[in-house]
Chains A and B, each alone.
Chain A
């Protein structure tokens, strides 16, 4: 088990923390919680462990429970380890009409893992999500901060091949 003391933001992340904190009045620093959780998730392997959340609580000088209750409310925060690339496939109306169910099935077959499971090579994980504001370019998925739109099976093959070569954990921040 890791302990709180071993968890620490990198120097560049520490600098970002300062910039984030400057966005609010000094006595309203709790407002920094969501940005800090995004940063923490990017820094610590794409998910938020309890010790990581405790670390964020200590930075903001708030109770750990205030962090847990927030992290568990928002769908972008992962409370369990995830594949290196989290493939977030939209399944809502316009994407469904344009074949999102086929996209999911094709992905499952290609990465050899069902939705929610990490692929055997640890590289990929499919997560079905709700409308991502790409309805006009459906079907689509998001990996980190990148949107992949007007998907076809051929495109998916290329995307996954490129990511395998890149081999760097996806992140939003």
Chain B
């Protein structure tokens, strides 16, 4: 099932340089696009490919592109979302570090398709060393005439810049990202208007994830129809999965969408099974925001069918028994993991990252962290489980942006599937300390 479109050449020494990248089919899609295709032809191929946004929401990319407003005389922009801050997700970092030119090639082709002459890659500030890698690659591309004026003699001009963030998960939300790129606090905007109409500096803007933009390269090279043949159903193409937690082989894997979850976890081609011969307890399949599922439900759907790594299969059963593909941040937990303690780390994260604009999210995330801390400290009562449920249920759907939901869903899912564990910590507060976590650092003597 291993079909590679993005990470075909990632292990070739020097692939981060323009020279080696070009020796390995690099910038072929740009030549093809500029020499043989009109911008709308590219949009058409992306539509045919069935590509869905790889940043988490899975919105069809071709459709998003076709919504871009094109008022006369107003510049348009393409902004690449490289904020990658969803816990469990590190695929964009891998791609940009290993093959920066793949993203740059995708940015040029996509900018041409959208009629943008100035584009930005917004990278989370913590990835400063990646920013330097991208800036070097961009410099190489300018020197080779792949960026700047009259690219490859086509008459098309493009300037491409890298913008650092300042450390804020919320700036991954596309309108917060645009605010940040305008030099402001990362407060998400009310929609509508959507960025396609009024985005960066009020101009029509498309925001796409790193992996989405990189995928445009194989789509233009091989054609949208060919891309659509890969994958399963409406989950076309390949997806980068960031695998972490208690697995033998953590890392970034490019999978053909539709690989069975069981194969992904246990095959040596991917995660290589659970470490130390332990049993799998639960999986967060698509980054911290998506519902956690216990082993039975992540390996098989409620109907008993094998669960597949695809948008549809992972969400089969809704939130009652399913989850989401999300950003592809796949976190596996072994039998010794405390679901409550892990959830606490998520709750702390969302509380820290809420921008504070909307009361339900600002206050609710704080409450959830506080209540979960009571469980960790052995001070919780049974009614705290209901209180926690109540608080999470009052955030969903009541905020400007989906960070509120992202904070509520993991809490709801943990209670839904692991209520017994919360109850156990109430009945036997000491037990939270008895959980044997697998630490590589288990030789620490208490100070």
A-B complex is real: yes
A99 contacts B345, C-beta separation under 8 Å: no
Taking a contact as CB atoms under 8 Å apart, the answer to whether B125 and A172 are in contact is yes
Whether B129 lies near A136 (C-beta < 8 A) is: no
Contact of B168 among A74, A94, A152 (CB under 8 A): A74
Assuming the contacts A23-B161, A105-B447, A130-B349, asked whether A152 and B331 have C-beta atoms less than 8 A apart, the reply is no
Contact (A131, B342) CB under 8 Å given A93-B331, A99-B440: no
Of the candidate stretches B56-64, B223-231, B237-245, the one touching chain A is B237-245
Q: How far is the CB of A116 from chain B (nearest CB, A)?
A: 14
Q: Indicate whether A135 sits within 8 Å of B90 (C-beta atoms), given known contacts A74-B168, A102-B444.
A: yes
Annotate B345-363 by CB proximity to A: 1 below 8 A, 0 otherwise.
Answer: 1101100110100000000
Closest chain-B Cβ to A126's Cβ sits at a distance in Å of: 14
Contact A70 B183 (CB under 8 A): yes
Question: Does B204 have its Cβ within 8 Å of any Cβ on chain A?
Answer: no
Q: For the complex, is B182 an interface residue (Cβ under 8 Å from A)? A: yes
B201 touches A34 (CB 8 A): no
Quick one: which of A75, A88, A98, A136 contacts B252, CB cutoff 8 A? A136
Within the complex, the shortest CB–CB distance from B46 to chain A, in Å, comes to 27
Q: How large is the interface on A (under 10, 10 to 19, 20 to 34, 35 or more residues)?
A: 35 or more
List of A residues within 8 angstroms of B420 by Cβ: none
User: Which residues 99-125 in A have Cβ within 8 Å of B in the complex?
Assistant: 99, 102-103, 105-106, 108-109
Of A70, A106, A138, A172, which one neighbours B128 at CB under 8 angstroms?
Answer: A172
CA distance A138 to B244 in the complex (A): 8
Question: In the docked arrangement, what's the CA distance between A77 and B362, Å?
Answer: 21
Closest beta carbon of chain B to A100's beta carbon, Å:
9
Closest 8 CB pairs of A and B: A74-B166, A33-B183, A76-B167, A75-B167, A135-B244, A136-B250, A30-B183, A131-B87
Residues of B within 8 A of A (CB): 84-90, 92-93, 120, 124-129, 132, 161, 163-169, 180-186, 201, 242-246, 250-252, 284, 288, 329, 331, 333, 337, 341-342, 345-346, 348-349, 352-353, 355, 437-444, 447
